[in-house]
Amino acid sequence: MAEPDAKRARVAEDDGATSFPKNKIKILLLEGVSQRGIQMLRDDGFQVEALKTALTEDELLAKIKDLHILGIRSKTQVSKKVIEASN
């Protein structure tokens, strides 16, 4: 039998409740993430910016300030400086 807390979590997940409105969540995806994945996030209500290339540290610093989620692959290096610059 499921634990009460686990059951509540599933119910909250199933009813679409979020702690922050999805349409205000900003996602930056780098290095050619699949178009299907990008579209799935957009269809779910997220604000998505997708770039085909990696960014330099300076470019990341310019983009990171208002970002909620950063999706990268292997070429992008997220430095301590970039992490500290995020909100």
Strand partners, 47: 26
pTM, whole model, 2 decimals? 0.74
**Strand stretches in the chain, DSSP E:** 26-29, 47-50, 69-71
What's the pLDDT tens digit per position in 19-67?
889 999 999 999 999 999 999 999 999 999 999 999 999 999 999 988 9
Give the tokens for residue 64: 């990171």
* Residue-averaged pLDDT of the chain: 86
What secondary structure letter does DSSP report for 68? Answer: S
What pLDDT, on the 0 to 100 scale, is given for residue 15?
Answer: 59
